[in-house]
């Protein structure tokens, strides 16, 4: 058995949860915050049998696509101290960060 920890962008979370549950996976949802853009993320926990592991990974890959997004980044104004003006930059968002752990014991009480 494996524990999949998938960190996904909030935009993708609902659709991903629906797709996983429609395929018979149990999902636990945790609200989290990302470090780079301070954007809302969702962390999903899935306990899966080894035989169903690839099916779960395929669903995550299908739903969580990377995409470009415009974000504002503070930039110092030339010749001034401590004055920052936001300007738009293009960043890649979405996709998923996934950790997979072997589970030694599982109990559902």
**CB-CB contact of 95 with 64 (8 Å):** yes
Mind listing the domains of the chain with CATH numbers?
A: 2-66+94-102 (3.30.70.120)
Q: What is the pLDDT of residues 75-109, one digit of tens each?
A: 555 555 565 556 676 665 567 899 999 999 988 88
pLDDT of 93: 59
Say how far apart CA 55 and CA 4 lie, in whole Å. 12
Q: What is the pLDDT of residues 45-66, one digit of tens each?
A: 999 999 999 999 999 999 998 7
Say how far apart CA 38 and CA 84 lie, in whole Å. 18
Say how far apart CA 60 and CA 76 lie, in whole Å. 39
Q: What is the pLDDT of residues 20-32, one digit of tens each?
A: 999 999 999 997 8
Say how far apart CA 23 and CA 28 lie, in whole Å. 15
């Amino acid at each position: 058995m494996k524990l999949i920890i998938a960190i996904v962008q909030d935009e993708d979370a609902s659709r991903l949860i629906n797709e996983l549950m429609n395929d018979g996976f149990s999902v636990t949802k945790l609200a989290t915050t990302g470090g780079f853009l301070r954007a809302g993320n969702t962390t999903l926990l899935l306990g899966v049998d080894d035989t169903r592991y690839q099916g779960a990974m395929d669903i995550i890959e299908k739903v969580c696509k990377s995409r470009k997004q415009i974000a504002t980044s503070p930039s110092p104004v030339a010749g001034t101290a401590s004055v920052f003006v936001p300007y738009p930059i293009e960043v890649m968002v979405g996709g998923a960060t996934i950790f997979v752990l072997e589970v030694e014991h599982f109990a559902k009480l």
